Protein backbone atom coordinates (compact mmCIF):
# COMPACT_ATOMS: atom_id res chain seq x y z
CA UNK A 1 0.00 0.00 0.00
CA UNK A 2 2.82 2.40 0.79
CA UNK A 3 4.32 1.74 -2.64
CA UNK A 4 1.06 2.88 -4.28
CA UNK A 5 0.82 5.93 -2.03
CA UNK A 6 4.42 6.83 -2.85
CA UNK A 7 3.82 6.33 -6.57
CA UNK A 8 0.38 8.05 -6.96
CA UNK A 9 0.01 10.09 -3.80
CA UNK A 10 -2.41 9.56 -0.93
CA UNK A 11 -5.92 11.01 -1.16
CA UNK A 12 -6.35 14.07 1.02
CA UNK A 13 -8.61 13.73 4.08
CA UNK A 14 -10.35 17.00 3.16
CA UNK A 15 -11.37 15.62 -0.25
CA UNK A 16 -12.88 12.54 1.41
CA UNK A 17 -14.86 14.68 3.89
CA UNK A 18 -16.16 16.95 1.11
CA UNK A 19 -17.24 13.94 -0.96
CA UNK A 20 -19.08 12.39 2.00
CA UNK A 21 -20.77 15.73 2.80
CA UNK A 22 -21.90 16.16 -0.83
CA UNK A 23 -23.29 12.63 -1.04
CA UNK A 24 -25.15 13.14 2.26
CA UNK A 25 -26.59 16.47 1.04
CA UNK A 26 -27.77 14.92 -2.23
CA UNK A 27 -29.35 12.02 -0.31
CA UNK A 28 -31.20 14.39 2.04
CA UNK A 29 -32.52 16.46 -0.87
CA UNK A 30 -33.59 13.32 -2.77
CA UNK A 31 -35.38 11.85 0.25
CA UNK A 32 -37.09 15.19 0.92
CA UNK A 33 -38.31 15.38 -2.67
CA UNK A 34 -39.50 11.77 -2.52
CA UNK A 35 -41.49 12.44 0.67
CA UNK A 36 -43.02 15.61 -0.80
CA UNK A 37 -43.98 13.84 -4.05
CA UNK A 38 -45.52 10.89 -2.21
CA UNK A 39 -47.59 13.14 0.06
CA UNK A 40 -48.68 15.43 -2.78
CA UNK A 41 -49.68 12.57 -5.08
CA UNK A 42 -51.50 10.64 -2.35
CA UNK A 43 -53.84 13.54 -1.52
CA UNK A 44 -55.32 14.78 -4.82
CA UNK A 45 -57.92 17.57 -4.92
CA UNK A 46 -60.29 15.27 -6.79
CA UNK A 47 -60.44 11.63 -7.88
CA UNK A 48 -63.09 9.53 -9.57
CA UNK A 49 -64.28 6.00 -10.27
CA UNK A 50 -66.64 4.63 -12.88
CA UNK A 51 -69.39 2.97 -10.86
CA UNK A 52 -71.19 1.61 -13.93
CA UNK A 53 -72.48 2.31 -17.42
CA UNK A 54 -75.31 1.34 -19.72
CA UNK A 55 -75.62 1.49 -23.49
CA UNK A 56 -79.15 2.83 -23.95
CA UNK A 57 -79.44 2.83 -27.75
CA UNK A 58 -77.49 3.49 -30.96
CA UNK A 59 -76.71 7.10 -29.99
CA UNK A 60 -76.78 7.18 -26.20
CA UNK A 61 -74.78 5.72 -23.33
CA UNK A 62 -75.14 6.59 -19.66
CA UNK A 63 -72.57 6.30 -16.92
CA UNK A 64 -72.48 6.67 -13.14
CA UNK A 65 -69.31 8.42 -12.02
CA UNK A 66 -68.31 8.52 -8.34
CA UNK A 67 -66.48 11.79 -7.70
CA UNK A 68 -64.54 12.37 -4.47
CA UNK A 69 -63.38 15.94 -3.82
CA UNK A 70 -60.93 16.96 -1.09
CA UNK A 71 -63.21 19.85 -0.15
CA UNK A 72 -66.72 20.96 -1.17
CA UNK A 73 -65.21 24.17 -2.61
CA UNK A 74 -63.18 22.23 -5.20
CA UNK A 75 -64.55 22.49 -8.75
CA UNK A 76 -63.91 19.22 -10.58
CA UNK A 77 -63.91 18.61 -14.33
CA UNK A 78 -64.39 14.94 -15.17
CA UNK A 79 -63.94 13.28 -18.56
CA UNK A 80 -65.62 10.17 -19.98
CA UNK A 81 -65.25 8.45 -23.33
CA UNK A 82 -67.61 6.05 -25.13
CA UNK A 83 -65.92 3.40 -27.24
CA UNK A 84 -67.36 1.18 -29.98
CA UNK A 85 -66.81 -2.49 -30.72
CA UNK A 86 -63.88 -1.70 -33.04
CA UNK A 87 -62.23 0.37 -30.24
CA UNK A 88 -63.02 3.69 -31.91
CA UNK A 89 -64.01 6.70 -29.86
CA UNK A 90 -67.69 7.34 -30.60
CA UNK A 91 -68.51 9.91 -27.93
CA UNK A 92 -67.11 12.04 -25.12
CA UNK A 93 -68.53 13.92 -22.19
CA UNK A 94 -67.11 16.47 -19.78
CA UNK A 95 -68.88 16.95 -16.45
CA UNK A 96 -68.25 19.86 -14.10
CA UNK A 97 -68.95 19.17 -10.41
CA UNK A 98 -69.31 22.40 -8.43
CA UNK A 99 -71.88 21.69 -5.74
CA UNK A 100 -72.81 18.89 -3.44
CA UNK A 101 -71.09 16.61 -1.01
CA UNK A 102 -67.41 15.72 -1.02
CA UNK A 103 -68.31 12.28 -2.40
CA UNK A 104 -71.18 11.94 -4.84
CA UNK A 105 -72.43 9.82 -7.70
CA UNK A 106 -72.98 11.78 -10.91
CA UNK A 107 -75.18 10.46 -13.73
CA UNK A 108 -73.75 11.32 -17.16
CA UNK A 109 -75.40 10.95 -20.57
CA UNK A 110 -73.01 10.57 -23.48
CA UNK A 111 -74.23 11.19 -27.03
CA UNK A 112 -72.56 8.79 -29.45
CA UNK A 113 -72.18 8.84 -33.22
CA UNK A 114 -72.90 5.09 -33.33
CA UNK A 115 -73.44 2.27 -30.87
CA UNK A 116 -70.97 2.18 -28.01
CA UNK A 117 -69.89 -1.01 -26.28
CA UNK A 118 -68.14 0.50 -23.27
CA UNK A 119 -67.55 3.74 -21.40
CA UNK A 120 -64.11 4.69 -20.10
CA UNK A 121 -63.34 7.03 -17.21
CA UNK A 122 -60.49 9.32 -18.23
CA UNK A 123 -60.34 11.00 -14.81
CA UNK A 124 -60.98 14.34 -13.16
CA UNK A 125 -58.94 17.51 -12.83
CA UNK A 126 -59.18 20.52 -10.54
CA UNK A 127 -57.36 23.80 -10.08
CA UNK A 128 -53.84 22.96 -9.01
CA UNK A 129 -54.25 19.34 -10.18
CA UNK A 130 -53.66 19.16 -13.92
CA UNK A 131 -53.15 15.39 -13.98
CA UNK A 132 -56.37 13.37 -14.22
CA UNK A 133 -57.16 11.10 -11.29
Looking at the structure, tell me whether residues 52 and 73 fall in a common domain.
yes
Question: Which ranges of 1-133 does DSSP label H, i.e. alpha helix?
Answer: 2-8, 13-42
Structural domain of residue 76, as residue ranges? Answer: 46-125
Looking at the structure, tell me whether residues 77 and 99 fall in a common domain.
yes
Looking at the structure, tell me whether residues 35 and 55 fall in a common domain.
no
Helix (H), strand (E) at residue 60: strand 60-69
Dihedral of CA atoms 99, 128, 49, 55 in degrees, nearest 10, equals: 70
CATH code of residue 108: 2.60.40
Looking at the structure, tell me whether residues 24 and 82 fall in a common domain.
no
Count: domains in the chain: 2
Q: Give the global pTM.
A: 0.70
Give the integer Cα–Cα distance in Å for 98 and 92: 20
Looking at the structure, tell me whether residues 50 and 90 fall in a common domain.
yes
Looking at the structure, tell me whether residues 80 and 117 fall in a common domain.
yes
Looking at the structure, tell me whether residues 58 and 107 fall in a common domain.
yes
Reported as a single tens digit per residue, the pLDDT across 69-124 is 988 999 999 999 999 999 999 999 999 999 889 999 999 999 999 999 999 999 99
Amino acid sequence: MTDLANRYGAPSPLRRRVTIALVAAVAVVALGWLAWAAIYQSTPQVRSDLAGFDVVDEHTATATLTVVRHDTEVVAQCYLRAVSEDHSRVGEATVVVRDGAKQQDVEVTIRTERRATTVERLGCTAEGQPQRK
